[in-house]
Amino acid sequence: MPAIFPRWTNKIPLALGVVTPLVGAFLIFAVWYWWSPLYTDVGYRPKQPVEYSHALHAGDMGIDCRYCHNTVESAPHAAVPPTQTCMNCHSQVQTESPRLALVRTSFETGEAIPWVRVHMLPDYAFFDHRPHVAAGVGCATCHGRVDNMVVVEQAQPMSMGWCLDCHRNPEPNLRPLDQVTNMDWDDSPEKAAYDFKKDPERKRMPSPPVHCSGCHR
């Protein structure tokens, strides 16, 4: 009696035994990488209603982060500056620039500029800028070299694993309290010699939480 299936079909179980684990491993890698904040969020740079260059204002002009984001030391969120803050300068500088037409309109009407948020955490994650700034975590640690960005983009994944890496070992990300807004600190020779445990300005040593309720409340 002739065989129902050709001889080569005997190799199908072997092929499945080899290919199935490889496909499974690829799918796991694909989900781990392409569905992670490292891929989906890093580099996010939405178009803003007004073209604002941090490279010009924070970089070339050296404006301190806290001039615009003035609640970063006293509130959970770093405030988006109101139009009045912009007009402190632009009532005298670039007063007729067409790029600033929306800023002038906002100032005259009182209607807020609809800025698009760049850094977003899920609602179930609690984050407060105050303890991080007070501990000496620099702006650039989380937000990258904003002073070099013509268009602000997300520089770090801000995932749970990324945050926990810092909470478990915060020392590499700590700096003197008066250097929090210094964008050049990580590249400065002073960083290599800095020991936060001997910093006379510190009232207490940082002890970031690593338990669930530290961020999920």
Grouped pLDDT means (10 residues each) for the chain, 217 residues: 76 87 89 84 96 97 96 93 96 96 97 95 94 96 97 96 96 95 94 92 91 94
Closest Cα to residue 160, out of 193, 129, 126? 126
Report if residue 160 sits inside a domain: yes
Please give the pLDDT value at position 1: 61
| Residue at token pair 């700034």 | 133
Q: Are residues 15 and 60 in the same domain?
A: no
| CB 103, CB 87: distance < 8 Å | yes
Q: In the structure encoding, which two tokens stand for residue 95, read together?
A: 């007063």
* C-alpha count within 13 angstroms, C-beta hemisphere, residue 121: 18
Q: Give the chain's domain count.
A: 2
Tokens matching residue 1: 């009696």
Residue 94 burial by CB count (10 A; 0-12/13-18/19+): exposed, middle or buried? exposed
| Domain membership flag for residue 97 | no
Regarding whether 159 and 58 lie in a shared domain, the answer is: yes
- Is 5 contained in some domain? no
List residues bridging with 174 in a β-sheet.
137
Contacts of 80 (CB under 8 A, 6+ apart): 69, 115
Could you tell me if 83 and 103 are in contact, meaning their C-beta atoms sit under 8 angstroms apart? Answer: yes
| 29 belongs to a structural domain | yes
In degrees and rounded to multiples of 5, residue 174 shows phi and psi of -100, 150
- What pLDDT sits at residue 75? 93
Q: How far apart are the first and last CA of the chain?
A: 72
Q: So what's the pLDDT on residue 185?
A: 95
Are 60 and 155 found together in one domain?
yes
pTM for the whole structure: 0.84
| Angstrom distance (rounded) from CA 149 to CA 139 | 14
Residue 152 placed within a domain: yes
Quick one: pLDDT at residue 66? 96
Closest CA to 66 of 177, 166, 173, 188: 177
Residue 45's pLDDT is 96
Binding-site residue ranges: 54, 57, 65, 68-69, 86
Residue range of the domain that includes 130: 53-64+72-78+119-214
Same domain, 151 and 58: yes
Extract the annotated binding site for heme c. 54, 57, 65, 68-69, 86
Q: What is the pLDDT of residue 203?
A: 85
